[in-house]
Amino acid sequence: MCGIIGKIGKVNCMKDVLEGLKKLEYRGYDSAGVAVFTDEGVKRVRAVGNISALEEKLAGTNLDGRLAVGHSRWATNGNVTEKNAHPHRAGRFTVVHNGIIENAAALKTAYFENDAFESDTDTEVAAKLLDKFYDGDAGRAIRQAQRLMTGSWALGILCDDCPGTLFAAANGSPLLIVKTESGNYIASDAGAAPDPIEVTKVENCEYAAVTADGYTVYNENGDALQKAPLAVAAGALSLDKGGYDHYMMSEIMQQPEAVRRTLEALPDSDFIGDAKEIRLIACGSAYHAGLVGARLFEAVRRIPARAEIASEFRYADPIIGRETLCIFISQSGETADTLAALRLAKEKGAPTLSIVNVPGSAIATESDRVILTQAGREIAVATTKAYSAQLAVFYALALGRSEALSRLPEAIYTAIAENDGKCRRLAERIAGCRNIFFIGRQLDNAVSQEGSLKMKEISYLNSQAYAAGELKHGTISLVEPGSPVIATVTDPAILSKTMSNLHEVKARGAFTIVITTRALAPGLEADVTLTVPDVGPMLAPSVAVIPMQLMSYYTAKALGCEIDKPRNLAKSVTVE
Ligand code: F6R
């Protein structure tokens, strides 16, 4: 949450910082701001809203320079106001920050009791600490401030006395130094800088001094470190909208490729070993992928498995140990609750495996073993291709490789092609409704959870997913004449059970939609039938989720919602 960027080059770089900020906007879009070194010192401009609001404020100012920092904010401490927007300034220091300085209030009382503060943020406390400890040596001031702060931070720092150096410091929040032909960047995500030549991670308690020609990373004692750069991903999946109106649609379309690459890159290794039990721990959509994984491990491998919400798991004092394989699922690899759950599992001696999309991220680095999904960078806040890539990993782990699995990318492609138009038309009807319900049993229930989350997070319509048999135990009272009820029916063994539940809501006036396979479709009664290729019941979540994603996308579009950046959300959730 929150994106930070900075650049130092041989020529003016405001344009590059703004371009980079747009690529980081997925991390938060409550407000945005920049600070730049000019001949008259450091100047900053901040605006509530997204980067275009900032660009409007910058238009006509001619503000530019060879060293600049930028920030896009997801508010944690302090309301969404201009005074709380970054960069923050104190004395000779200007700071952009991602993370939460947990002891900011205590530091404020201890060091600045009588000082006036411009903002309500923890970041201003960091800027004030830097200024307090500054005696002409910015590195020393950073070290002293880092020693006092607790919590997580990635800081981009300008010091008024150092027009040729961009400083950076990190602890628990991602921060990368990216070398490019046109200069050197610091960024929350390497994708914010075009054509990286070399990417280096600033790790916990380290800080860096970056110049136009190079950079040095130091440890907490001020010793210069020899750091090995991370591998720069070659041939990554497209980062633009690919001609679509939104990243989300471009990413939906990239799913066949994301799944194909993930399966190709997956090592042929026994990741499950002799585990007696498996826990799959994650948040949001990644948790929904875990629901599918758990079902598969139990159904096929007959290993007791259960998916758990990371924020619950971490406080549950879970009964786990050497024989419990704990699998952590995360697109970003940064999610605070998932990371804390991983650390807890390690403390308890459980073997850990993570399934992560961002190489070098905290979860990927800290787990015993890691499987990297190859979805490429995902920009839309609502995940699609990363979820699909996670499912592909579970098929390979639980079912093993098969002819059907190798044909899955093609089936996903067909599911998109055959449902796009139908879902667009259906969305017009769904957009006018108050409550939407997704129902299914077993794997169909697991994938319905994801479909429902997709719908509510981008369209803001109230949507709920229920185990089909459970609806009548209370929630059915919300079904009104015309309420869309979307039943997923891909397993012949339980088809008639879910269809009975669909008939129950039809009898109460619901508008019924069924997602099923081509083979099962004939004879199923519903107002609308959406068909997906026959890939077998175990792989079906990967094709069934496609019409759900498309319906959600087109419903949100019909309602004029901000699809790629839904309100109140951020792409990576680095707070509890
Ligand atoms: C929903 C969505 C979120 C994430 C969740 C976990 O579309 O994207 O629910 O799945 O915040 O994030 P990661 O996977 O980065 O740990």
Is residue 326 annotated as part of the catalytic site, yes or no? no
Residue 458 CB less than 6 A away from ligand 1:
no
Pocket test of ligand 1: the residue of 331, 447, 574 to mutate, having most ligand atoms within 8 Å of its CB, is 331
Residue 390 CB less than 6 A away from ligand 1:
no
Q: What is the largest CA-CA distance in the chain?
A: 80
Provide the pLDDT confidence category of residue 172 given band limits of 50, 70 and 90: confident
Catalytic annotation, pick one of 2, 13, 283, 326 = 2
CA of 184 to the centre of ligand 1 (A): 30
Residue 332 CB less than 6 A away from ligand 1:
yes
State which H helix or E strand residue 76 sits in: none
State residue 231's pLDDT score: 63
Phi-psi group of 333: left, alpha or beta (phi > 0 → left; psi -120 to 50 → alpha; rest → beta): left
Could you give the dihedral angle defined by the CA atoms of residues 519, 521, 522 and 528, in that order, rounded to the nearest 10 degrees? -160
Provide the pLDDT confidence category of residue 484 given band limits of 50, 70 and 90: very high
C-alpha span between 461 and 468 (Å, rounded):
20
Residue 449 CB less than 6 A away from ligand 1:
no
State residue 275's pLDDT score: 97
C-alpha span between 534 and 232 (Å, rounded):
38
Pocket test of ligand 1: the residue of 280, 313, 332, 354 to mutate, having most ligand atoms within 8 Å of its CB, is 332
Is 90 exceeded by the pLDDT of residue 237?
A: no
Question: How far, CA to CA in Å, does 52 sit from each of 24, 49, 476?
Answer: 13, 8, 44
Sign of torsion, CA 192 193 197 202? negative
Sign of torsion, CA 391 397 399 404? positive
Give every CB contact of residue 135 below 8 A, 6+ residues apart in sequence: 141
Provide the pLDDT confidence category of residue 152 given band limits of 50, 70 and 90: confident
CA of 236 to the centre of ligand 1 (A): 21
The predicted-structure confidence for 538-568, as pLDDT tens digits, reads as follows: 999 999 999 999 999 999 999 999 999 998 8
CA of 283 to the centre of ligand 1 (A): 6
Give every CB contact of residue 415 below 8 A, 6+ residues apart in sequence: 532, 533, 543, 546, 547
Give every CB contact of residue 162 below 8 A, 6+ residues apart in sequence: 138
The predicted-structure confidence for 56-85, as pLDDT tens digits, reads as follows: 999 989 899 999 999 999 887 788 999 999
Amino acid symbol at 313: F
CA of 452 to the centre of ligand 1 (A): 14
C-alpha span between 427 and 404 (Å, rounded):
31
Is 70 exceeded by the pLDDT of residue 239?
A: no
What percent of the chain has pLDDT above 90? 86
Q: What are phi and psi of 309, to 5 degrees?
A: -75, 125
Q: 509 exposed, middle or buried (CB, 10 Å; 0-12, 13-18, 19+)?
A: exposed
Which atom of ligand 1 approaches the CA of 382 most closely? Answer: 7
State residue 234's pLDDT score: 46
Pocket test of ligand 1: the residue of 173, 573, 576 to mutate, having most ligand atoms within 8 Å of its CB, is 573
Span of 8-12, 191-195, 352-356, 499-503 with lowest mean pLDDT? 191-195
Residue 331 CB less than 6 A away from ligand 1:
yes
**SS3 annotation, 547-569:** HHHHHHHHHHHHCCCCCCCCCCC
Mean pLDDT, the chain, integer:
94
CA-nearest of 321, 375, 300, 462 to 292 is 300
Which atom of ligand 1 approaches the CA of 386 most closely? Answer: 14
State residue 238's pLDDT score: 54
Residue 358 CB less than 6 A away from ligand 1:
no
User: Rounded to two decimals, what is the model's pTM?
Assistant: 0.78
pLDDT mean over 370-378:
95
**Which domains does the chain possess?**
3-225 (3.60.20.10), 239-406 (3.40.50.10490), 417-560 (3.40.50.10490)
How many CA atoms does the CB half-sphere of 290 hold within 13 Å?
27
Which atom of ligand 1 approaches the CA of 381 most closely? Answer: 8
Q: Do 156 and 4 form a contact (C-beta atoms < 8 A)?
A: yes
Is 90 exceeded by the pLDDT of residue 394?
A: yes
Which atom of ligand 1 approaches the CA of 572 most closely? Answer: 15
Q: Ligand 1 atom 7: the closest Cα is on which residue?
A: 382
The predicted-structure confidence for 311-349, as pLDDT tens digits, reads as follows: 999 999 999 999 999 999 999 999 999 999 999 999 999
Residue 361 CB less than 6 A away from ligand 1:
no
Residue 572 CB less than 6 A away from ligand 1:
yes
Residue 28 CB less than 6 A away from ligand 1:
no
Is residue 456 annotated as part of the catalytic site, yes or no? no
Q: Do 371 and 353 form a contact (C-beta atoms < 8 A)?
A: yes
State residue 74's pLDDT score: 87
Q: Do 438 and 568 form a contact (C-beta atoms < 8 A)?
A: no
Is 80 exceeded by the pLDDT of residue 243?
A: no
C-alpha span between 176 and 198 (Å, rounded):
10
Residue 382 CB less than 6 A away from ligand 1:
yes
The SS3 call for residue 473 is: helix
What does the block give as tokens for 240?
């633009």
CA of 286 to the centre of ligand 1 (A): 6
C-alpha span between 282 and 353 (Å, rounded):
12
CA-nearest of 187, 144, 152 to 170 is 152
pLDDT mean over 155-180:
95
